Amino acid sequence: MVLTGAEILIRCLQEEKVEFVFGYPGGSVLYIYDEMFKQDKFKHVLVRHEQAAVHAADAYSRSSQKIGVCLVTSGPGVTNAVTGIATAYMDSIPLVVITGQVPTAYIGQDAFQECDTVGITRPCVKHNFLVKDVKDLATTIKKAFYLAKTGRPGPVLVDIPKDVTNHKCEFSYPKSVTMRSYNPVTKGHTGQIKKAVQLLLEAKRPMIYAGGGVILSDAAELLKKLVKALGFPITNTLMGLGGYPGTDPQFLGMLGMHGTVEANMAMQHCDVLLAIGARFDDRVIGSPDHFAEQPRKIIHIDIDPSSISKRVKVDVPIVGGVSEVLEDLMKQLELAEAKPDAKALADWWQQIAEWRAKDCLKYKQGSKLIMPQFVIQKLYEVTGGNAFVSSDVGQHQMWAAQYYKFDKPRRWINSGGLGTMGFGLPAAMGVHFANPKATVACVTGEASIQMCIQELSTCKQYRLPIKIINLNNRYLGMVRQWQEMFHGNRYAESYIDALPDFVKLAEAYGHVGMQITKPEDVEPALRRAFTEHKNDLVFMDFITDQTANVFPMVAAGKGLSQMILAEDL
């Protein structure tokens, strides 16, 4: 069948069972929009800024394990999308980003709305393509979906010049792709897995450290089985939260810069460390030199060989998909005659109990000012721990991570790698499209929310009943915290003056606004929002204690055991 490039693209997306395309039109993509208009197999979601299109597609993927798809125009459409693409890239989220380009004959002529899309996005995509001939379009789209999801996932961009979308050729969608240059390993090396099992069974002070790879690989159930079989303590990274049940007694909480005492100390003092789908990020282990001061054997499971021994040398590398490797590891464990050393484990748990007794996340909720931690705790109670929670970046993000206990994967949606303010609201939209019946909350700050506030309009158009939990401290709180702790209380440009009246702002966009100023109103207001206003978007502006800081804290460049606790100050 002979079709135009635009028709081919639409057919490809249908073949890939795409449900939603998040996008924003413009000159170079008009043929595509025209063809989309004529079909109803998938829906288009019109955002208000291209950054939001990418964040929404990204969160759609994070919360559903499907591939997110977005479509933007050339030039400014692309440059606006770059923040979103880089955000997805840092967190290994599978996306297909389709961008319009000026007609092939105009490329390189500084044409209207031309930019070197492939060049600009090259460092923040898993791969990108410029399609110069309509005959290559269908295979390129097939490759894009294949690359996005396999191996270490990531965003793949396809740049399509306008004339290509209007040229015709015979269409047939390839059934499969093979690329001689791309063959990701998914199955772990049996010999290495045996070595790992042996090390785990000999461990006296074992520790499991699991990251976002567990979630990306849909391995939460397997991980739980393994941890239960071993009886070992486990921690999650910021990206891994929900990969292991947050309320389970073997869970030590999140580790890292704002990790719990028990997680960080166990990480530092273990003798065998099993790292699963995690990458020893600087915010997670702090200084590699300090980390190396306590020698331990490290087993590292990761799909990406370049993540292994990048920041920390490991003893038993296992390259493979987390779920494939964990499955084999479980089998080997069942075959092994030895059992974990019960006596040593009991002593180790005893030590952990002492660290736990510090109760490092305690805080005091007085009668006057609302503590931000209290809001999250109440949010957790009111939603029964079952909400999807997206967040922006700053103190509120850390409190959400610390105080909302995620028992299930894909519920905690945040920009961990790039730390993108503005992510929260569009992400909540994407979550809603993937999970239309779910409860969706967006935990944000008065600064972050303003970075994509225009999406309140998108939320109105599509009737997205998101609950925005704005922890309003009138400061770039995380910046203020660093200035207080490391820059002699000089609050350079971290006070947010001239804030809008968020209640009126929400109302202006056609939503419900609430301002909550007293501790005793926190819970009732949340209950009202989640019951009475179940079907409305509610902007909840919580006026919180401006001086609250996130603890524990490991200062940048320090080691995991060098934590500053709330009680130290």
Ligand X SMILES: Cc1ncc(C[n+]2csc(CCOP(=O)(O)OP(=O)(O)O)c2C)c(N)n1
Select the binding partner of residue 182 from another protein, ligand X, none (C-beta < 5 to 8 A, by kind). another protein
- Residue closer to another protein by CB (options 27, 305) is 305
How far apart (Å, rounded) are the C-alpha atoms in residues 295 and 284? 17
> Starting at the edge strand that comes first in sequence, how are the strands of the sheet with 43-46 ordered?
43-46, 20-23, 68-72, 95-101, 155-161, 127-130
Q: Does 310 bind another protein (CB under 8 A)?
A: yes
Least distance from another protein to the Cβ atom of residue 26, Å: 24
How far apart (Å, rounded) are the C-alpha atoms in residues 234 and 275? 10
DSSP H or E segment with residue 162: helix 162-166
Q: Does 448 bind ligand X (CB under 6 A)?
A: yes
Select the binding partner of residue 126 from ligand X, another protein, none (C-beta < 5 to 8 A, by kind). another protein
Among 126, 167, 279, 410, binds another protein (CB under 8 A): 126
Select the binding partner of residue 393 from ligand X, another protein, none (C-beta < 5 to 8 A, by kind). ligand X
SS3 of residue 219 by DSSP: coil
Least distance from ligand X to the Cβ atom of residue 476, Å: 4
- Stretch of 182-190, 197-205, 380-388, 472-480 lying at the interface with ligand X (CB under 6 A): 472-480
Among 91, 327, 446, 541, binds ligand X (CB under 6 A): 446
Least distance from another protein to the Cβ atom of residue 253, Å: 31
Among 304, 407, 521, 536, binds another protein (CB under 8 A): 304
The verdict on whether 461 is a catalytic residue reads no
Q: Does 479 bind ligand X (CB under 6 A)?
A: yes
> Starting at the edge strand that comes first in sequence, how are the strands of the sheet with 412-413 ordered?
412-413, 388-391, 440-445, 467-472, 538-543, 512-516
Give the pairing of strands 467-472 and 20-23: unpaired
- Residue closer to ligand X by CB (options 110, 493) is 493
Q: Does 395 bind ligand X (CB under 6 A)?
A: yes
- Stretch of 5-13, 98-106, 117-125, 368-376 lying at the interface with another protein (CB under 8 A): 117-125
The verdict on whether 207 is a catalytic residue reads no
Q: Which of 17, 37, 41, 112 is catalytic?
A: 112
How far apart (Å, rounded) are the C-alpha atoms in residues 222 and 238? 20
Angle between helices 424-434 and 50-62 (to 10 degrees): 50
Q: Closest Cα partner for 246 from 264, 234, 257?
A: 234
**Cβ atoms 398, 373 nearer than 8 A:** no
SS3 of residue 157 by DSSP: strand
How far apart (Å, rounded) are the C-alpha atoms in residues 354 and 269? 14
**Cβ atoms 5, 134 nearer than 8 A:** yes
**Cβ atoms 511, 537 nearer than 8 A:** yes
Q: Does 543 bind another protein (CB under 8 A)?
A: no
- Structure-token pair, residue 33: 């929009």
**Cβ atoms 54, 81 nearer than 8 A:** yes
Contact characters 14-33, ligand X, x per CB under 6 A: --------------------
Q: Does 27 bind another protein (CB under 8 A)?
A: no
How far apart (Å, rounded) are the C-alpha atoms in residues 190 and 192? 5
**Cβ atoms 273, 299 nearer than 8 A:** yes
| Interacting positions 167-206 with another protein (CB under 8 A) | 179-182
Among 44, 127, 204, 290, binds another protein (CB under 8 A): 127
| Interacting positions 478-497 with another protein (CB under 8 A) | none
**Cβ atoms 223, 291 nearer than 8 A:** no
Q: Which of 142, 143, 149, 162 is catalytic?
A: 162
Select the binding partner of residue 419 from another protein, ligand X, none (C-beta < 5 to 8 A, by kind). ligand X
Amino acid (one-letter) located at 253: G
Name 159's bridge partners: 99, 130
SS3 of residue 190 by DSSP: helix
Select the binding partner of residue 471 from ligand X, another protein, none (C-beta < 5 to 8 A, by kind). ligand X
Least distance from ligand X to the Cβ atom of residue 401, Å: 12
The verdict on whether 50 is a catalytic residue reads yes
Give the pairing of strands 234-236 and 467-472: unpaired
Distance from the Cα of residue 366 to its chain's centroid:
33
How far apart (Å, rounded) are the C-alpha atoms in residues 208 and 223? 10
Select the binding partner of residue 534 from ligand X, another protein, none (C-beta < 5 to 8 A, by kind). none
Select the binding partner of residue 122 from ligand X, another protein, none (C-beta < 5 to 8 A, by kind). another protein
Among 123, 295, 384, 488, binds another protein (CB under 8 A): 123
Q: Does 475 bind ligand X (CB under 6 A)?
A: yes
- Residue closer to another protein by CB (options 86, 442) is 86
Select the binding partner of residue 316 from another protein, ligand X, none (C-beta < 5 to 8 A, by kind). none
Q: Which of 50, 327, 446, 455 is catalytic?
A: 50
SS3 of residue 295 by DSSP: coil
- Stretch of 55-63, 66-74, 298-306, 398-406 lying at the interface with another protein (CB under 8 A): 298-306
Select the binding partner of residue 558 from ligand X, another protein, none (C-beta < 5 to 8 A, by kind). none
SS3 of residue 364 by DSSP: coil
**Cβ atoms 567, 298 nearer than 8 A:** no
Among 394, 409, 416, 426, binds ligand X (CB under 6 A): 394
SS3 of residue 139 by DSSP: helix
Q: Does 453 bind another protein (CB under 8 A)?
A: no
- Contact residues toward ligand X (CB under 6 A) are 392-396, 419-422, 445-448, 471, 473, 475-479
As annotated, the active-site residues are: 50, 112-113, 162, 478
- Contact residues toward another protein (CB under 8 A) are 118-119, 122-123, 126-127, 130, 147, 179-182, 304-306, 309-310, 313
